[in-house]
Amino acid sequence: MCCEFLGNIMGVFSCIQTTLSGEVLLDIEVQPGSSRQGVIGLNEWRNKIQVAVKAEAQKGKANSAVCNVLKTLLSTEVEIVQGLNSRQKKVKVRGLDSPTVVKILEGLIES
């Protein structure tokens, strides 16, 4: 159990980058058109946090949904900075440091 817990934390850490200016970037993988919304897991092969949204990937609807889901879960502003036309995205988190983001996300990711 302890090793699984540490694996999830290390996995979350591997999905987060901190820039030299202190900005936190998340590597995510989006599942548009899902029956549920939220952070649903961790893709350990791709080092991406999996985010499901109900919105379809049409005319930016899924991107807006991703931002709304992450904004709600992290209680701060987020912005997609890479991958607007892809399921693989990089999201900037404003106003939080890496340890805080990890703490929030590790509570959301199912084992």
CATH number, residue 98: 3.30.1200.10
When divided into structural domains, the chain yields a total of 1
Single out the residue of 65, 82, 73, 68 nearest to residue 26, CA to CA: 82
Give the structural domain span for 49.
Answer: 2-108
Helices (H), the chain: 2-14, 61-74, 98-108
Q: What confidence score (pLDDT) does residue 1 get?
A: 37
Q: How confident is the model at residue 79 (pLDDT cuts 50, 70, 90)?
A: very high
Break the chain down into helix, strand, coil percent, rounded to 5: 35, 30, 35
Q: What confidence score (pLDDT) does residue 10 get?
A: 62
The structure tokens listed for 39 are 């952070």
Q: What confidence score (pLDDT) does residue 22 get?
A: 87
Q: How confident is the model at residue 13 (pLDDT cuts 50, 70, 90)?
A: confident
Task: Return the sign of the alpha-carbon dihedral for residues 35, 88, 57, 78.
Answer: positive
pTM of structure:
0.85
